[in-house]
């Protein structure tokens, strides 16, 4: 059996879609919260700086450069997060706790983000700061900033973690999806397997119920109840047809026996004896039709499936060819049997397949006029072996081909030849029972009837058993 692809299951698709939506919304939510928080914190920072600048500018206006310098020196040594720098218009440092004016062009509103060097425990460290520049009168420049190094680092860490987190979520989610799908598949597989067994005619199978009481158990329960019902119906139908068979067979049997007894008492070759003989023949035709119908019904119900065995199709062809060859010769037909080097072994009911091929050959011989030809062959097609009976007789018009396998259908042209009109119906029923296909094709001219099988083993002809029929081939197969 083909292992189903876990990634192609419905469960996996649902999980993948859900995971994608979940990951996107989680990213969006976290991103939104992060972005807003960062924004608020930056704004607070900017507002504090703005306020400080306003204060410092006031100080400058009241006390001039020396006053401002004093305040800046005072604030510079406080050692908190505040960074201050007062420079002249050459950007030379006058006062403050930054060594140089940052080499960054400020934005239009004077906001600037820059890196600076700071000694922590004697070691210089490059850190990030965010602040504002302000041009004082007389060309002096003022910079007020805050160290945002920790925050920026935190932000970077946060972003990294966000992506790692999302990645991990997807990996775990997909792994979960695979596990869930496997589980799902395992249970579906049980249902599929049971269905296949049932389709092969064994209606006694039931889908196992796990007892978990979930949707699968519900489904299995429903399927099983449906199967119970089908089995009951089928059983009822079989019983009815068995009863009909029995009830019709007994009176037919008595009728025939009575006629035969009556014939025994008549002098041979009397008129009554001939009448009785004709009546017996009529009864036999009735019985033949009846038997054919019953056989079709049994074949369609699959009740003959128990007697399936491994059989080689070339044995079947050779046997039927040998049986019908003389009949074709007598009708002056060119009759040939063609069997390829590789033998095809299939599982089937020998009797039914033989009868199906015999029906096809019988039809071909019956409808092909003298001088024509009938070829019976075994072909190896792409899907499996095929039994082919080809003739160059009148064939079947394309519009009639689908209809001729129906019961009792006889073409206008064949009304006057003997037959029950059930031959092809039986072939079609046998084909269905063996998962095979009956195709009626144009042989240009004539009919090409093909019985195509699906599964087979190809056995080299030398390896197969001798086709002798010394022993009855009765093989019980379960």
Partner 1 sequence: MRILVIEDDIEAQRYLVKGLKEAGHVVDEAGDGDTGLTLALSRPYDVAIVDRMLPKLDGIKLVGAMRDERNMTPVLFLSALSDVDDRIKGLRAGGDDYLTKPYAFAELLARLDALVRRRDPGTVKTKVAVGDLELDLLSRTAKRSGSAIELQPREFRLLEYLMRHAGQIVTRTMLLENVWEYHFDPQTNVIDVHISRLRAKIDKGFEAPLLHTVRGAGYMIRAHA
Residues that bind partner 1 (CB under 8 A): 242, 245-246, 249-250, 252-258, 260-261, 263-264, 277, 280, 283-284, 287-288, 291-292, 294-295, 298, 303-304, 306-307, 319, 322-324, 326-327, 330, 349, 351-352, 354-355, 358-359, 362, 365-366, 418-420, 423, 469, 472-474, 476
CB-wise, 71 or 424, nearer to partner 1? 424
CA distance 348 to 22: 54
Cβ-Cβ contacts under 8 Å for 373 (sequence gap 6 or more): 333, 334, 335, 336, 391, 392
| Least distance CB 388 / partner 1 (angstroms) | 20
Give me the least distance between CB of 410 and partner 1, in Å please. 13
- State which residue, 123 or 246, has the beta carbon closest to partner 1: 246
How many angstroms separate the CA atoms of 440 and 117, rounded? 93
The nearer residue to partner 1, 181 or 349, going by C-beta atoms, is 349
Q: Closest approach of Cβ 172 to partner 1, in Å?
A: 57
* Closest distance to partner 1 from the beta carbon of 351 (Å): 5
Q: Starting at the edge strand that comes first in sequence, how are the strands of the sheet with 111-120 ordered?
A: 93-96, 82-87, 141-147, 123-135, 111-120
Do residues 460 and 451 touch, judged by C-beta distance below 8 A? no
| 3-state SS, residue 62 | helix
| 316: nearest Cα among 344, 286, 296 | 344
Report helix, strand or coil for 243.
Answer: helix
Nearer to partner 1, 365 or 447 (CB): 365
| 3-state secondary structure string across 171-238 | HHHHHHHHHHHHHHHHHHHHHHHHHHHHHCCCCCCCCCCCCCCCHHHHHHHHHHHHHHHHHHHHHHHH
- The helix (run of H) or strand (run of E) holding residue 251 is helix 215-265
Task: Output 123 or 478, the one with its CB closest to partner 1.
Answer: 478
Nearest distance from residue 389's CB to partner 1, in Å?
Answer: 14
| Nearest distance, CB of residue 363 and partner 1, angstroms | 9
Shortest spacing between CB 181 and partner 1, in angstroms: 43
**238 vs 464, which CB is nearer to partner 1?**
238
Based on CB atoms, which residue is closest to partner 1, 162 or 304? 304
The partner residues of 373 in beta bridges, in order of sequence, read: 334
Q: Which is nearer to partner 1, 141 or 357 (CB)?
A: 357
Q: What are phi and psi of 332, to 5 degrees?
A: 55, 50
Phi/psi at 122 (5° precision)? 85, -10
Neighbouring C-beta atoms of residue 243, cutoff 10 Å: 10
CB 397 within 8 A of CB 403: no
Q: What is the smallest separation between the CB atom of 357 and partner 1, expressed in angstroms?
A: 11
CA distance 449 to 388: 6
């Amino acid at each position: 059996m083909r292992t189903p692809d876990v990634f192609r299951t419905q469960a996996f698709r649902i999980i993948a879609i859900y995971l994608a939506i979940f990951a996107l919304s989680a990213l969006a939510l976290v991103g939104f919260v992060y972005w807003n928080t960062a924004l608020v914190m930056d704004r607070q920072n900017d507002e504090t700086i703005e306020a400080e600048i306003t204060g410092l500018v006031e100080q400058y206006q009241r006390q001039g450069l020396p006053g401002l310098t004093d305040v800046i020196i005072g604030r510079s040594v406080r050692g908190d997060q505040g960074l201050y720098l007062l420079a002249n218009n050459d950007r030379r440092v006058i006062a403050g706790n930054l060594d140089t004016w940052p080499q960054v062009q400020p934005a239009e509103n004077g906001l600037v983000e820059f890196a600076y060097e700071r000694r922590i425990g004697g070691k210089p460290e490059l850190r990030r700061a965010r602040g504002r520049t302000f041009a004082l009168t007389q060309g002096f420049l003022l910079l007020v900033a805050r160290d945002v190094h920790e925050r920026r680092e935190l932000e970077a860490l946060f972003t990294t973690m966000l992506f790692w987190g999302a990645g991990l979520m997807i990996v775990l989610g997909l792994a979960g999806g695979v596990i869930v799908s496997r589980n799902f598949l395992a249970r579906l597989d049980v249902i599929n397997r049971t269905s296949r067994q049932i389709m092969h005619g064994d209606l006694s199978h039931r889908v196992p119920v796990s007892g978990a009481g979930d949707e699968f158990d519900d489904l299995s329960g429903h399927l099983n109840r449906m199967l119970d019902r089908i089995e009951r119906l089928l059983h009822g139908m079989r019983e009815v047809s068995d009863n009909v068979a029995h009830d019709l067979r007994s009176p037919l049997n008595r009728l025939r026996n009575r006629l035969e007894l009556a014939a025994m008492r008549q002098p041979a070759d009397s008129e009554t004896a001939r009448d009785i003989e004709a009546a017996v023949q009529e009864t036999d035709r009735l019985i033949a039709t009846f038997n054919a119908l019953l056989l079709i019904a049994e074949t369609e119900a699959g009740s003959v499936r128990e007697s399936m065995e491994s059989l080689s199709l070339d044995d079947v062809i050779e046997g039927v060819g040998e049986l019908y060859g003389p009949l074709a010769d007598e009708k002056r037909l060119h009759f040939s049997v063609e069997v390829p080097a590789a033998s095809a072994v299939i599982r089937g009911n020998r009797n039914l397949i033989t009868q199906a091929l015999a029906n096809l050959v019988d039809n071909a011989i019956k409808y092909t006029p003298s001088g024509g030809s009938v070829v019976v062959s075994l072909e190896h097609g792409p899907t499996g072996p095929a039994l082919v009976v080809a003739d160059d007789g009148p064939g079947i018009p394309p519009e009639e081909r689908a209809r001729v396998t129906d019961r009792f259908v006889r073409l206008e042209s064949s009304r006057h030849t003997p037959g029950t009109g059930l031959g092809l119906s039986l072939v079609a029923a046998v084909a269905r029972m063996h998962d095979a296909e009956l195709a009626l094709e144009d042989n240009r001219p004539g009919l090409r009837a093909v019985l195509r099988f699906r599964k087979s083993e190809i056995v080299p002809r030398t390896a197969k058993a001798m086709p002798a029929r010394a022993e009855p081939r009765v093989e019980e197969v379960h």
